[in-house]
Structure formats: structure tokens, C-alpha cells
Structure 1
Amino acid sequence: MITTKQRAYLRSLANSIDPIFQIGKGGIEAAFIKQVEDALEKRELIKINVLENSGLGTREAHDQLVGAIGCEGIQIIGSKIVLYKESKNHKKIELPRK
């Protein structure tokens, strides 16, 4: 569990990154979840765009991903989701102290 201060720090880092995934009409499937897990292991912080034709709301997609992966949902803004999970092997982000 991360603190409010750490969440704010991660949100500031997420401002400068572009979405690397899109959730479209295929929705959220096992293969997509695996790709997101792999990306989180490499990058720790990712942004995902939810398209209107996905049939999912942004909050619903966020909740499904967080539940399936066990990551932290950092921010939902418009149709974008920001997720964070500390990497085991490729740690890049140093969070502020609690």
C-alpha cells in the first residue's frame, strides 16, 4: 500500500508518459493482462487508454486490471488509467519515504 505523498509523486511522473496500451472492443483478456504485467515489470509505471468502443467504463477497466494484476491504481483521468507496481528485477522508481 502506498501513501498519499507517494501517489502524488507517481502522478507527477505519469504526466510525462504516453499510453502504451489501449483497451478496445476486445476488452480485457488473459493475453492483455499478461502484456500489462510484463510492461509493469519493465517500467513500473504505465498509462493505458480506454477506447469508447471497449464496452467498459474507465473505472470498470481499472478495477478489473488492479484486481487481476495486484498493482496499484494511481490515477483515472478521463479515459486514461495510470498503474504502478514495484518491479522485482528492474527497479527504477524510488518512492519518497512514508
Structure 2
Amino acid sequence: MKLTGKQKRFLRASANEMSPLFQIGKNGLTVEMVKEFEESLENKELMKVQLLQNTEWTTAEAKEFIEEHSDITVVQTIGKVLVLFMPADEEKYQYYSSKLPKSN
């Protein structure tokens, strides 16, 4: 999903108070882990993932890997934290996607 700057700002602001739900450690990032992110986002839409100090992955590499292997959009990277967004398929879980500012 291609997001506008305004939509990304809204999602970043919404994620501001969140704590990371997943951590990427020394075992790195795998396709299976990205699938877990997708499953979690099915009913959350927005979450944070933290890269631990013992990982060899950079935030840029993690962002590229996640976006390459899924429909997840990385909305923001702050230090070692990534903010992930994926609109939910079921209407009852579409909390953030229903409030996104409309794109022109």
C-alpha cells in the first residue's frame, strides 16, 4: 500500500505511545518472523518492532527485508525501532486504516 506523507504522519503519531511487540535479536530476521508480523498486524494494523543490540541487521536492511517479503509498510524508523503498518482485511479490525486521512 502506497501511503501519502499525511497518512504516514498520522500513523507515526498514533504509534508514538506504543511499545515494541517484537524484538529482532542475534538470530536475525527470517521470512517466518515476517509472517508472524503479518499475523499480528491482521488485528492490530500498527505496531513497533525493536532491533536488539546483538543483531547484525541495520534498520535499513530490516525495513527492506520486511517490505520485500510482505505487504507490510514500514512507516518510520527511529533508532533501532521500526513502525509497521498493514491494513486489516476484516472491517472490525480496521481501526487505523478507517481513520487514515484520504489521499488526493
What's the TM-score once normalised by structure 1's chain length?
Answer: 0.94
Q: Which runs of 5+ in 2 are unaligned?
A: none
RMSD between aligned residues: 1.0
Aligned residues: 98
- Aligned-pair distance for 1:31? 2.4
CA distance in 1, matches of 2:30, 2:5: 31
Q: What residue is the counterpart of 1:95 in the other structure?
A: 100
| SS, match of residue 54 in structure 2 | helix
Structure 1: 5+ residue stretches without partners: none
After the TM superposition, which of the residue ranges 86-95 and 73-82 deviates more from structure 2?
A: 86-95
Would you say the 8 A contact 2:31–2:69 is kept in 1?
Answer: no
Extract structure 1 runs of 4+ deviating beyond 2 A: none
Structure 1 segment 6-85 matched on structure 2, within 5 A: 6-85=7-86
Residues 43-63 of structure 1: CA deviation (Å, up to 9, x unaligned): 000100001211111111111
* Cα distance in 2, alignment partners of residues 50 and 65 from structure 1: 13
More off after superposition, 25-34 vs 13-22: 25-34
Q: Report the CA distance between 1:30 and its aligned residue.
A: 2.9
2: CA distance between counterparts of 1:11 and 1:33? 20
